[in-house]
Amino acid sequence: MCELLGMSANVPTDICFSFSGFLHRGGGTGPHRDGWGIAFYEAGGYRDFRDPHPSVDSPIARLICDYPIKSHVVISHIRQANVGEVRLANTHPFTREMWGRPWCYAHNGQLSREWSNLPLSFYRPVGTTDSEHAFCWLMGELRRAFPDPPDDPEALWQYLHRLCEHLRTYGVFNLLLADGEHLYTYCSTKLAHITRRAPFGRASLSDAELAVNFAEHTTPDDVVSVIATEPLTDNENWVRMMPGELLVWRDGDIQGRYHT
Amino acid sequence: MCELLGMSANVPTDICFSFSGFLHRGGGTGPHRDGWGIAFYEAGGYRDFRDPHPSVDSPIARLICDYPIKSHVVISHIRQANVGEVRLANTHPFTREMWGRPWCYAHNGQLSREWSNLPLSFYRPVGTTDSEHAFCWLMGELRRAFPDPPDDPEALWQYLHRLCEHLRTYGVFNLLLADGEHLYTYCSTKLAHITRRAPFGRASLSDAELAVNFAEHTTPDDVVSVIATEPLTDNENWVRMMPGELLVWRDGDIQGRYHT
């Protein structure tokens, strides 16, 4: 199994603290040695960093910790390969352009054998994973239903929930998806979240000897939510998502909630 | 104007030497302070690193110099903005997936005002540059003509040359384009190339105090070609491309040549 990390914030925020704990699971405290990646949305632009090597040894991962990139939306993934060999083309997150927006996707779980029958249209996978195939199917279905961005975003969110429910029938499908403004999190088995806002306190990582006093790094209006496969800190109350639940995040807050 | 750097090689080769000279032009010896990017194809996978800050000050660019990524095909670009503000979404190279392959593109030059009339189909720009608009048009036209990879690649190359010739009527259009296997270079005004093969010699950079003896880093079968807006070394014979010429590179050698 892999692990997921996401962030939604109302001000450009760096994810160094959470990422420091997260990347220790990539071959340090965790078994996820088969690559890692992280994607940032910044001022209307998108970039990702991906490496097929364990995050705990990766010079690129160290750079991400040392060079704080400030972002409204972040998606990260560390991989323990099940379907698809260990190589760059199989390393999450994956990205495709729709409506002139870069969409970004990471998946935790494993689909059953039938996933290769999910029919593809606009988008085709570059690698050989179940995850990327499901992403191409998902984006193709969204694009067929909404050739242009819908006036009513809730129609899109509802349809996305339906597609996620369909993918859950294929196996374990925990999802992080983003369009640059919204972060979509769908829980099939395991995802937890925490929202930090004033008054900010102190947090200490479960996976590394590191603590931070957020009060020293924030202003009273900041709202920052972090979503992860497993809680990253040991002194805060994380909320576990329900199986079948889709949350739509924007500016650190939940804008939409759909469930089975 | 921007500057382009490309590489095609028959063995996975790092581009550290050429990139070291090239990035000095990004705010050092050159005026190209408006961002930079570099894309690598590795073992069927693709990744790029882009930064809207000058390459000469960029910690990500330093990482690329220090952490040799070995690749068959590389495309790099440093930017001096003309159309489109300085931000990540306007930073080359651009990428889109077609036929399950990541295509990568960088452009040097400036198109005239009419470029926004080039009709778009499958692909839409994320940023606001003439370059990305032209890329989306080019990829859309290729995909309309070839919904699947053609059996005869020369039909594709010929059609690509026609599309480049059309774009040249809009302004200055020097191009690097890659599909992971081939590197396509089209000259509108300025592109030069050099092929290094046994017996390898010594090369010294024009833009930085750095020399390398390729004989120490290669085997007798290596073939490595470098393509750049301006020659990067001052002791080798670079070949300048002709306006209207498209070269198709594979494994360091020219596989196809089309001209006006």
Q: Give the pLDDT confidence of A28-79 residue by residue, as tens digits.
A: 666 667 889 999 999 879 999 999 888 777 888 888 888 888 999 999 998 8
pLDDT over 70 at A1, yes or no? no
CB spacing of A90 vs B50 below 8 angstroms: no
DSSP letter, residue A32? -
State percent of chain B over pLDDT 70. Answer: 97
Q: Residue A28 has what pLDDT? A: 67
A170 versus B84: the higher-pLDDT residue is A170
pLDDT over 90 at B217, yes or no? no
The mean pLDDT value for B124-130 works out to 96
CB atoms within 10 A of CB B203: 21
Helices B59-66/A59-66 angle, 10° precision: 160
Contact B157/A at CB under 8 A: no
CB spacing of B47 vs A42 below 8 angstroms: no
Supply the DSSP string of chain B, one letter for each residue.
--EEEEEEEEEEE--HHHHHHHHHTBTTSSB--S-EEEEEEETTEEEEEEESS-GGG-HHHHHHHHS---EEEEEEEE---SSS-SSGGGPSPEEEEETTEEEEEEEES-B-GGGGGSPPSS---SS--HHHHHHHHHHHHHHHH-SS--SSHHHHHHHHHHHHHHHHTTB--EEEEE-SSEEEEEESS--EEEEEESSP-EEEBSSSS-EEEGGGT--TT-EEEEEESS-SBSSS-PEEPPTTEEEEEETTEEEEEE--
Q: Residue B47 has what pLDDT? A: 95
CA A60 to CA A70: how far, in whole Å?
Answer: 17
Q: Residue B205 has what pLDDT? A: 87
Q: Residue A59 has what pLDDT? A: 87
What's the domain range around A131? 3-258
Which sequence positions of B are flagged as catalytic? 2
Q: A–B: how many Cβ contacts below 8 A?
A: 81
Facing residue for A63 by CB, picked from B63, B87, B122: B63
Tell me the average pLDDT of chain B: 92
pLDDT over 90 at B223, yes or no? yes
Q: Tell me how close the Cα of B233 comes to any Cα of chain A, in angstroms.
A: 29
Contact B148/A at CB under 8 A: no
CB spacing of B126 vs A43 below 8 angstroms: no
Q: Give the pLDDT confidence of A182-226 residue by residue, as tens digits.
A: 999 999 999 999 999 989 888 988 887 778 888 888 889 999 999
Tokens standing for residue A27:
């071959």
CB spacing of B45 vs A100 below 8 angstroms: no
Q: Tell me how close the Cα of A244 comes to any Cα of chain B, in angstroms.
A: 30
Estimate to the nearest angstrom the gap between the alpha carbon of A171 and the chain centroid: 18
Interface of B with A in 15-54 (CB under 8 A): 42-50, 52
Residue A80 banded pLDDT, cuts 50, 70, 90? confident
Task: Return the CATH number at A21.
Answer: 3.60.20.10
Cβ contact A243:A188 at 8 Å: yes
Cβ contact A15:A74 at 8 Å: yes
Judging by beta carbons within 10 Å of its beta carbon (0-12, 13-18, 19+), is residue A117 exposed, middle or buried? exposed
Contact B140/A at CB under 8 A: no
Q: Residue B129 has what pLDDT? A: 94
CB spacing of A47 vs B102 below 8 angstroms: no
Q: Residue B256 has what pLDDT? A: 98
A147-151, A246-250, B61-65: the lowest-pLDDT one: B61-65
Residue B214 banded pLDDT, cuts 50, 70, 90? confident
Q: Tell me how close the Cα of A67 comes to any Cα of chain B, in angstroms.
A: 8
Facing residue for A44 by CB, picked from B67, B89, B97: B89
ipTM of the complex: 0.94
Our count of domains for chain B comes to: 1
Q: Residue A106 has what pLDDT? A: 97
Q: Residue B176 has what pLDDT? A: 98
Cβ contact B197:B227 at 8 Å: no
Cβ contact B74:B38 at 8 Å: yes
Q: Tell me how close the Cα of B193 comes to any Cα of chain A, in angstroms.
A: 29
Q: Give the pLDDT confidence of A108-162 residue by residue, as tens digits.
A: 999 987 999 999 999 999 999 999 999 999 999 999 999 999 999 999 999 999 9
CB spacing of A126 vs B102 below 8 angstroms: yes
DSSP letter, residue A169? T
Q: Give the pLDDT confidence of B26-59 residue by residue, as tens digits.
A: 666 666 678 899 999 998 799 999 998 887 778 8
